[in-house]
Structures are given as C-alpha cells and as structure tokens.
Amino acid sequence: MADLDMKKVAEVVAISLKEDAVSEDITTDSVVDENCEAIGEIETGRKGVLAGLDVAAEVFRQVDETLAVEKPAGDGEQVMPGRVVMRVEGRASSILKGERVALNLLSHLSGVATLTARFVEKAAAPNVDILDTRKTTPGLRLLEKYAVRMGGGVNHRLDLSDRILIKDNHLALQDGGRRERMGRAVSAAREKYPGVTIEVEAQDLDDVVDALEAGADIIMLDNMSPGELARAVEIVGGRARTEASGGVDLESVEKIAASGVDSMSIGALTHSAPALDFSMEIRPRE
C-alpha cells in the first residue's frame, strides 16, 4: 500500500462519472459552444493537507484525454486558502463535465488527510502510530487509506484477509471461560495461519494478561482510560504491541499517547472527516 493504486482509482472514477451522467450534461451541451477552449483552476478554500490530486486528474483524463492537466502542488503538502493546486486546459465543455466529480473526490480525500494530520500533531508523540480502521466509505477504502498516509497516519488492516483480529464477538461463539476461549482462539488461528500477525481485543486488564499468555502479537486496548492504558502498557512490558481503541478524539489523543501505547486506531479519520473546501474558476483561453 506504499503507492496509490491507479487501477483502483480508474475504477472509482469510472463509477463516479457514470453516477453523475457526464455524457448527458444537458446544461453544458445546450449552453457552451463545443469549440470553446478554456482554462480551469482548482484552488483551496481553507488550510489543509492535500490528497487525491492524481484522482482528480484521472477524472479529467477519462472525460477527455485531450485535456492538459498541471499540478503545481503535491499530495501530502499543506496548503493555505487560495492556493491553486490544479490547472486544466482544453475543451471547456469537458472541463465543466468533470468539475464536480473531481472536486468531490479531492475534497473528501484531502479532508481525510487534513483530519489525520491534526491527530498526528495533537498526539505530539512521534513513536505513536495514528491508525485508521475499516470504517470506510464502501468503494473508497483504498483511496481513503491512501489519504490517511498523506496526513501522516498509518494503515491498519486493509481488509479481512489482512491480519487476524480476534474480537469479543468471535470469543462469544466459543465454549468455556473467557481465558480458555481466548487461548483456544489464538492457538487455532496460529495453527491455521502460521506467520500471520494475530491481534486480540482486550476489554480490561485481566484480558490483557490473558492475551499475553495466549501469545497475541498485538493487544487492542478497547475503551480504556489513560490510566488503564498506562497500566496495560506496564503489564505488557514490550512483549506485544499495544493499540488504544475507542474514545480517541482530538481532546483525548495527547493523554492517550502519553500512556505509552504503541498506536491508537481512530475510525473518525475516514468516517467523520469534514471535506476540505475547493473550488474551480474557469475562463476562456485566449
């Protein structure tokens, strides 16, 4: 996941353009001369971190391959209001047809990157990873996780095939006491998928001890207070990685980071990021 998957980008863009019926833009087709040439400039409306410029460029490429796209800014860059981040030149009708889809994707992905960057900054702990989750927009997961990276965050599981994560609902379907269920679940996972990282959700400090004894590689500390997190880190003593989960927001992130956990997972990075404002100004080409 080091780079943006342009094949996936092309698929998302194609679906988005079909959804917007760009081939049936009755307004542009009736008002704009098909021979009119123009220049469109996309600029930021507020401060933020960019993500998705190549996605926006792919929109214009699919609408009209003859359009020339220039990107005077780059993904991961922090920009101020009024900064021109993309320039599109060519057939005016094509620019107008791709405008909204390009802005929608760029705004959403940059919003994710901007919120992630705020969490990274507030944590003020370079050794603590700010993780995303699988709480993503259907169809946009790869793009949203890319945006998290552009904001300085780290990707957690990409999908259900990426790492074993044993949670409460998995243990609820096992027989026996909680410690027995946890040990049996980890052993079964280790036997079936040797070499795969195993993460276990812990609801309290007793669970932390049980997860350690079961041999978990990562222990997810679910909805624990900063004090409980610090105690859990002490119990683990470096024998597994620790991940704080639940209740992480911009008000609590610094205290959680100070507890000594290795990482914290935050669903809000993708499911609650406000869009970053962009607009396009278009003018006839002289």
Active-site residue, from 8, 71, 87, 100? 100
Query: What is the rounded distance in angstroms from the CA atom of residue 208 to the CA atom of residue 201?
Result: 8
**Whole-angstrom distance, CA of residue 98 vs CA of residue 241:** 45
Looking at 87, 122, 135, 184, which residue is catalytic?
135
Sequence-distant (≥ 6) Cβ neighbours of residue 230 within 8 angstroms:
259, 260
Looking at 8, 87, 122, 167, which residue is catalytic? 167
Quick check: is 135 catalytic? yes
Q: How far is CA 108 from CA 147, 167, 257, 270, in A?
A: 9, 30, 27, 9
Catalytic-residue membership of 222: yes
Q: Is 162 a catalytic residue?
A: no
Burial of 27 (0-12, 13-18, 19+ CB in 10 A): exposed
Q: Of these residues, 43, 199, 201, 262, which one is catalytic? A: 201
Per the structure block, which two tokens stand in for 74?
Answer: 């780059």
Which one of 75, 222, 243, 262 is the catalytic residue?
222
- Is residue 255 annotated as a catalytic residue, yes or no? no
Angle between helix 92-123 and helix 6-19 axes, rounded to 10 deg: 120
User: Per-residue DSSP letters for 115-182?
Assistant: HHHHHHHHH--TTSEEE--S---TT-HHHHHHHHHHTT-B---SSTTSSEEE-HHHHTTS-S-HHHHH
Catalytic-residue membership of 118: no
Active-site positions?
100, 135, 167, 201, 222
